[in-house]
Chains A and B, each alone.
Chain A
Amino acid sequence: MLEITCNDRLGKKVRVKCNPDDTIGDLKKLIAAQTGTRPDKIVLKKWYTIFKDHIQLQDYEIHDGMNLELYYQ
C-alpha cells in the first residue's frame, strides 16, 4: 500500500491510499471519490508528464508519499 498526495493548488489536497499495481485510472477514481469530482475530468501530472490512465502506478515509479499534481480538464 502506498499513500499519494494529490494537490491542485486551488484548495484541494487529497491523500489517497492505493496499491502500487493500481492503474492511474483507478487512482483517479479514488481521488474523484474523495474530492467529489468526476474521474474523467481529473488529470494527474508530475512535472510535465501527464499520467495515462491504463498504466500502473509502479510503472510510473510512483512511490509512497509522492506528490502528484492534480489538474482538471
Chain B
Amino acid sequence: MLIFLFSDASVPLPKIVKYADHSRSASPGEIRDEPSPPHLSHSRKSPSPLRQAHSKKSPSPTRVSHSRKSPSPVRLSHARKSSTPPRQSYSRKSPSPPPKSSSGGGDSSLSIDETNKLRIKLGLKPLQVSSGPPPTAPPPIRDDELEEGQELDEETLLKIREEREKEADTFWKEKKDFVHAPAENLGQKLQAEKIREKIQRVREKRKLEERLSGVKALAQDSDEELDDAAKWIERQKRAAEQKARAEKTAKALAELDDEFGVGDLIEQDFQKKRNNAYGAKDLRGIKVLHSQERIEAGSSVIMTLKDKGVLDEDDDALVNVNMIDDEKFEKNIETRRLRPELHGYNAYEEIEFDGEGNLKEKGVLSKYDEEIDKSSGIKSFKIGDDVSEELRRAKIREKMQKTNKILESLEGTSLRLATDFYTPDEMVSFKKPKRRVKKVRKVLRADDILKLDADHGVPSTSKSNAKHQDMGSRGRKDADSKHRRSSRNDDEDTVIKQESVDMEIDLDIDDLPPPPSMDDIWTVKVDDEADLDFQLALNKARKLKQKKEIKHTAESIVAKLDAISDERDGSESGSMVLHATAEFCRTLGDIPTDEGVDIYGDEEMDFEQEERTNTVKAEERGRWAEVEIDETPVDITREPDVEEAPILEQEPTVGTGLAGALKLATKKGYLELEQTKRGITGGKMKHLQAQNYSIEDKNYEDDRVHKRDLYAGPTTDFKEKDGYKPEVKLDYVDEDGKTISSKEAFRLLSHKFHGKGSGKNKIDKKRRKVEQDKLMQHMNSTDTPLGTLELLQAKQKETQSPYIVLTGKAQHASLAKSKR
C-alpha cells in the first residue's frame, strides 16, 4: 500500500493518492487506480536510484495518472530519476583504491567501488549511493511541468536507455575480468612437487649412466675372455710355448757362459747366497727391548721385530707382544701408586741407589724424565751379551773397589710411631737403669715425723724442731743456692726468718755428688729425671701410708690429731701450699685451706719454693703476699658450719608454716608468681582494651556468613527482648574521677599513647580553670561572691529600714528626720 502525497498548499495541485490496495482503491470513485509494479511500491520506502533505473529499463514505465484535473499521466519515475545521478556513472568516476587487508585486528573496510565489484560477484545489486537522508517525497510536479516533463521524458528516456545499454556492456566487459580463481589445492601441489623430484632424479641417474658408459667393469672384462674353455686352452698353450722358448734361450746363454768360464763364478755366488740363510749368529747384537728377568731360562719366547717408521734410523729391535702388555700393566700400576717423588717436594726423600750401587742422581724435575725420554726407562739387552746375575754383582764389586768406597747410609734409625710400651723384642734389650740411690737426697717430711709420732705414741718431738725443719719442702738442686726462704708464723702473724734453710741446704750438699764436670753433663740430667721419678714414687707411697693410718686405732687417731696440730704448726713455719686451684677457690668463696700438708704433691711445692726464692724481700711480707692476690690471711679458726654453708642461698624451711611452704614452692618453681605473667597485658592500659575481643577465623566467617546473609539479620525477633532499648552512654573520667568530655578524653588518651603530656602552662591553665569551676559551683546564686547582699540585709535589719545610706551620716539623719 502506497500513499504518494504531493502536497503544496500554495499551489492548487491535485493530490495524487495512490492506493495500492485494490480493495480500497475500488471504493472511491474519485481516485483512479492503476496496478503498479511491486518495485515501485517499494520506492516510497526506499527511493533508490537503482531501483528506478531498473524500472526505467523495464519496457513499461509506470504512469501515474492524475486523478482529477489533468488526465495526462505523469512520469513519476522519470522525475525522480533526474534528481539522482545514475549509479554507473559514479562507479566510473572514481578509481578504486586498493582494498585494505581484512586480516589483523584493524578495522577493515572496502571502498564503495570495491564493494560494488564484490556485490556483482555475489550477485547482488550495487550500492545505492546517497549520502543524504532518503528523499521522503519528491518535489511536487505542476501540470505544465508535467507536460514538459513528458516530452522530455520521451527524449531522455531513449538517451538514458542507450546509456544504460552502454553501461551494461561495459559492466559485462568488466565483469569478464573477474574470473573466479580456484583455491590452491595443497595436495595437488605436493603431488606436483613429488613428480618433479622424481623426474629430476631420473634425469640425474641417466646422466651418471652416460658418464660411466665408457668405463669397463671388472667382471665384464674377465667374462669376455674366460667364459670360453677353448680360449682358455689356447692361452695355456701359448704360455707353455713361451716358457719353452725362454728355457731354450737360457740354455743357449748357459752354453755361452760355459764357453767363456763364467759358470764357476755364478756357482760360487749362488752358494754364498745359500750360506746367508738367517741363523742364530745373525741374531747376535740385536736388541731385545725387555729386561732379561722377563725371559725365563729354558722357555722359548717368540719375538717380533718392533714396529718402526720407514725412515727411522735406529736398529731393529725385538719385542714380545705379551711382554709389552705386561710392561704396560706394571707401569700403570706404578703410576697409580701414590709416590711423593711424582708430586713435587718429598720431605722424607732419601738418597737412593740403583741396582748397581750407583748413586741415583736426581735432576731438576726428574719426575718428568721418564716422560720426556721414554727410552731411558726401557730395560733392554743385546742377544749374545753375557748378562747373568753373578756378573752383575761382580761388576758392582769391581766398581766399589775401583772407587774405594764403602756403602754407608747416613740415615739413623728410621722413624717410628711413638708408643708408650716397648715391643717384646725391645723388652729383651731393655735394662733397668741403675738407680743411683746415693744421689737421691733424703728430705725430712712432715709425714715422716707423723710416722715417728705414731710409732712412739708420743706427741710431736718438739715444736721447735718442727719449726726448724722445712717440712714437705725441698730445695732446688742448685749447688750454690744461697737464697733465703721465708715462712710465716701463724700464731704471731709475723714473718720470721729461719735458719733451718741452711741446714737443709747442708743436707742437700751432703747428698749431692761432687759438682759435675763439663763432660759429664748428660749424666747429671739423667740423674735429675730419675730423682723426679723417685720423688713421685715416694709421694705415692706416703699417701698410701696415710690411708692406712686412718684405719688405725683410737690412740693413733689421737696421735694423728696431735700430729695435725703439729702439722699446723709446721705449716705455720712455712709449708703452706700454693697452687692455682686453691687460689682460685680462695678468691671465690674463701674456702679455708688450713690443711697445710702438701696434698698436692711435690711439684706444687717445688713451684712454691721457687717462688719463694725469687722474692727478695720475703721476710717483710706475709706469706700470701707472694702471689700478690689477697693479703688478708685466711681465718683458719673459722667455724665449720660456716664452711658448710651452701653456695646457693639457704632453702627456706617448710616447717615454719604455710608461708614457708609457699616460699619454698616458689623458689623451687612449683609455683609461678603472677607478676611475671602479667608483664605487658596488665597495668594502666587495661581500660583501653576491648572488653569482648576475640580473633575470629576469617575463613570460617566467610563460610558462615554469605553475602546475602550479611545484611539480612536474624529471621525471628527476640521476643523476650522486645522492650529492650539499650541506652549507650560513654562516660569518660579523668584521674580525679571527674567526668570529662570526649574531646578531653581523647587528649588524655593520646597523651598516654605518645607518652607526652601537655606543657606546664597548659596544665596551669587547666588547673586554674578547674578551680574557677569549683568556685563557681560553690558560689551562692543569691549573693555576690563578696556577700554584699548579705551585708546589706544585715545592715537593713540593724537600721530597721528598707534602705541603707551609702553616703554621709547627715543625710542619713535628715532622712530619718523626714521619716518621722
Contacts and interface: CB of A to CB of B under 8 A. Distances in A.
A18 interface: yes
Contact of A5 (B103, B107, B121): B107
Contact of B127 (A12, A13, A14, A18): A18
Contacts of B46: 19-21, 58
B125 interface: yes
B383 interface: no
Nearest to B127: A1
Given A1-B127, A21-B46, A35-B102, A15 B108 contact: yes
A30 B119 CA distance: 7
Contacts of B107: 5, 13-15
B67 to A, nearest CB: 29
Nearest to B130: A1
A33 B127 contact: no
Given A1-B128, A1-B129, A33-B121, A16 B109 contact: yes
A29 interface: yes
B48 A12 contact: no
A29 B510 CA distance: 141
Given A26-B124, A29-B124, A33-B121, A14 B130 contact: no
Most chain B CB within a 10 A radius of its CB, from A1, A18, A29, A35? A1
A29 B121 CA distance: 10
Contact of B112 (A13, A17, A29, A58): A17
B535 interface: no
A22 B104 CA distance: 27
Contact of A33 (B104, B106, B118, B130): B118
Interface string B14-46: 000000000000000000000000000010011
Contacts of A26: 122, 124
A13 B106 contact: yes
Contacts of A3: 109
Contacts of A11: 104-105
Nearest to A3: B109
Nearest to B112: A17
Interface in B40-75: 42, 45-46, 48
A12 B102 contact: yes
B46 to A, nearest CB: 5
Q: Is the interface of A mostly helix, strand, loop or mixed?
A: mixed
B110 interface: yes
Contacts of B118: 30, 33-34
Nearest to B122: A29
Nearest to A58: B46
A33 to B, nearest CB: 5
Contacts of B103: 36
B115 interface: yes
Given A11-B105, A13-B105, A34 B128 contact: no
Interface in A16-73: 16-22, 26, 29-30, 33-36, 58
Nearest to B110: A34
B112 A34 contact: no
Contacts of A13: 105-108
A72 to B, nearest CB: 15
Nearest to A1: B127
A19 B45 CA distance: 13
Contact of B122 (A30, A35, A58): A30
Contacts of B104: 11
A49 to B, nearest CB: 22
Q: Is the interface of B mostly helix, strand, loop or mixed?
A: loop
A3 B130 CA distance: 12
B423 to A, nearest CB: 96
A19 B121 contact: no
A19 B48 contact: yes
A29 B124 CA distance: 10
Interface in B92-112: 102-110, 112
A58 B697 CA distance: 61
Most chain B CB within a 10 A radius of its CB, from A3, A19, A36, A58? A19
B272 to A, nearest CB: 103
A28 to B, nearest CB: 10
A13 B104 CA distance: 9
Given A1-B130, A35-B102, A19 B125 contact: yes
B179 to A, nearest CB: 16
Interface in B134-179: none
Given A1-B112, A18-B127, A33 B48 contact: no
Contact of A34 (B102, B106, B121, B124): B102
B122 A15 contact: no
Contacts of A12: 102, 105, 108
A18 to B, nearest CB: 7
Contact of A17 (B102, B110, B122, B130): B110
A30 B115 contact: yes
Contact of B48 (A5, A14, A17, A21): A21
Contacts of A35: 102, 108
Contacts of A29: 122, 124
B128 A19 contact: yes
Contact of A19 (B108, B109, B127): B127
B98 to A, nearest CB: 14
A37 B76 CA distance: 43
A11 B102 CA distance: 10
Nearest to B50: A19
A34 B122 contact: no
Nearest to A34: B102
B124 A22 contact: yes
A13 B115 CA distance: 16
A34 B106 CA distance: 13
Nearest to B46: A21
Nearest to A64: B131
B556 to A, nearest CB: 118
A17 B109 contact: yes
A36 B102 contact: yes
Nearest to A35: B102
A29 B120 CA distance: 12
A36 B110 CA distance: 13
Contact of B115 (A5, A17, A20, A21): A17
A53 B119 CA distance: 17
Contacts of B130: 1
Contacts of B121: 33
A3 B102 CA distance: 16
A17 B106 contact: no
Contacts of B102: 12, 14, 34-36
Contacts of B45: 58
A11 to B, nearest CB: 4
Nearest to A22: B124
Contacts of B125: 19
A22 B112 CA distance: 15
A16 B102 CA distance: 11
B126 to A, nearest CB: 9
19 contacts: A1-B112, A1-B127, A1-B129, A1-B131, A12-B108, A14-B109, A17-B110, A19-B128, A26-B124, A30-B118, A33-B118, A33-B121, A33-B122, A34-B102, A34-B108, A34-B109, A35-B102, A36-B102, A58-B46
Interface of A: 1, 3, 5, 11-22, 26, 29-30, 33-36, 58
Report the 7 A-B pairs with minimum CB-CB distance, sorted nearest first. A15-B109, A11-B105, A13-B107, A17-B115, A1-B127, A34-B102, A29-B122
Given A29-B124, A30-B118, 20 more contacts: A1-B112, A1-B127, A1-B128, A1-B131, A5-B107, A11-B104, A12-B108, A13-B107, A14-B108, A16-B109, A17-B109, A17-B112, A18-B127, A19-B127, A21-B48, A30-B115, A33-B122, A34-B108, A34-B110, A36-B103
